Chain A
Amino acid sequence: MDKAGHYSVLYRFLGGSDGGEPTASVTEDAGGNLYGAAFGNHSISALSTVFELTQAGQLTVLHDFTGIPDGDAADATPILDAAGNLYGTTSSGGFACNSYYLPAGCGVVYKVDASGQYSVIHTFKTVADGVQPQGLAMDAAGNLYGSTALGGASCFLDRILGCGTVYKIDTNGTYTVLHRFETPADGVLPTPVTVDAAGNVYGITVGGGDTNCSPGDGCGTIFRIDAAGRFSVLYTFTPAIVTTPGYNVPVLDSQGNLYDSTAINQPGNGGFLFKLDTNGNFTELFVFPDFQDAPQDGEFVNGTAMDADGNFYGTMLSAGDVSCNPLGGGCGTVFKLTP
């Protein structure tokens, strides 16, 4: 979709060797080429792939995943460094860190270099290491940061597979777990993280925090891990703010303020966009319309992006044209929020 709001389809996946179900977003290089990952769907023989797509609509598969040991189910948006190397994660494949619950593997961090050569730069081999990585962020020095949805340490919500980690892979390829989510106060089950240029990592958890929220599981926290590796909770969601936790990937503005949206509608509203400023002040910026009141606007906010002018963009997973989906749920919308 261009700045004028004109929508066009650049490529339609055939669901075979080109991949299928590209659930992640795409990354654009300076030349306008797009890079993305396709989750794949084995039931229709659609491969999980990493691909390059030109503005002319020419798609090139950079790698198709086979599971173990190279990864599978590429569901995270790949990122580029200044040299044109592409990095990403798969939430499956690699190595079965728990052969009973996760026989298909616990995920990998991969690299496709500028010449198109694929390599695995980290395989999640133990639960303590992390399980199911979910995307990457990069600081100004080129260090990679990410979170795993599970793994780490046993916690009150999951004693076997753990409740998530945040990790760092430095420019030498050294993997370090920065934090294992274990206690309710820290929060548990992190979303993908974002990082500022100095290497401070920010993220949100979907559980833990105030355990009076969401019948004992907690509604999550907003956390920070500074460049020295110190973990702190910046904000704890309470029942007065959130009744069912559901967050998107947080974004930072140039001043270091954090923004995110809640994905799930609640009685009387359809989720909200919020801001946490650098002083810790929490503000609801926009309350999305309730599905019952405005189904045409969409339902389930799905991602938050902002431009330099302070406009926010996002998609709604469903609703909109409710006649388009055979189940009546609608096919979603694209929206913009302007100051």
Chain B
Amino acid sequence: MKSNARRVQCFVILVPAISAAPAQTLNFELLHTFTGVPDGGNPSAHFFGYVARVGSVAGREGQPFWHDNVWGPNLRPCNTG
């Protein structure tokens, strides 16, 4: 996954603190860990919201899109300039 390293850095910088976590009501079980070859890896990418703005944000029309390190499948730079 070519952009993972940049993505992690971006989140660490941008995200402020959040309140303490509530008590867990579900138990986490790890079913499979992908190893790349031969079982695959980085399953899909269908989450939404890494980019709260796409394309021509007001005041930034025509400028380069600055989310290319975090794009999802529907918000990829090849489609938006």
Residues on A lying within 8 angstroms of B by beta carbon are 1, 5, 7, 9, 12, 23-25, 39, 73, 75, 91-92, 100-102, 104, 132, 134, 149-150, 156-161, 189, 191-192, 204, 206-207, 214, 217-218, 220, 240, 242-249, 263-269, 272-273, 284-289, 291, 296-303, 312-313, 315-318, 320-321, 324-325, 327-339
Contact = CB atoms under 8 A, between A and B. Distances in A.
Nearest to B25: A285
Closest 9 CB pairs of A and B: A331-B41, A329-B4, A206-B49, A263-B47, A246-B49, A75-B73, A331-B34, A160-B56, A324-B36
A167 to B, nearest CB: 15
Contact of B49 (A161, A220, A320): A220
Given A246-B50, A286-B28, A332-B41, A269 B18 contact: yes
A1 B32 contact: yes
B5 A328 contact: yes
Contacts of A324: 34-36, 41
Given A101-B55, A337-B27, A247 B47 contact: yes
B26 A327 contact: no
A230 B2 CA distance: 42
A263 B49 contact: yes
Interface residue range, chain B:
35 or more
Contacts of A336: 28-29, 31
A24 B44 contact: yes
Contacts of B32: 1, 5, 7, 333-334
B1 to A, nearest CB: 6
A interface majority secondary structure: loop
B19 to A, nearest CB: 6
Contacts of A267: 15-18
Given A287-B21, A321-B34, A150 B55 contact: yes
Given A285-B26, A330-B4, 7 more contacts: A5-B31, A132-B75, A158-B53, A158-B57, A158-B58, A243-B16, A331-B41
B36 A325 contact: yes
B57 to A, nearest CB: 6
A337 B28 contact: yes
B20 to A, nearest CB: 7
Contacts of A75: 46, 73-74
B52 to A, nearest CB: 4
A266 B24 CA distance: 17
Interface in B27-80: 27-36, 38-50, 52-58, 61, 73-76, 78-80
Contacts of B79: 73, 91-92, 102, 104, 132
13 contacts: A24-B73, A132-B74, A132-B79, A150-B54, A158-B53, A161-B54, A214-B52, A245-B52, A266-B18, A268-B17, A272-B21, A320-B34, A325-B41
A246 B47 contact: yes
Contacts of B47: 246-248, 263-264, 300-303, 317
Given A156-B58, A244-B15, A206 B52 contact: yes
Nearest to B31: A334
Nearest to A245: B49
A161 B54 CA distance: 8
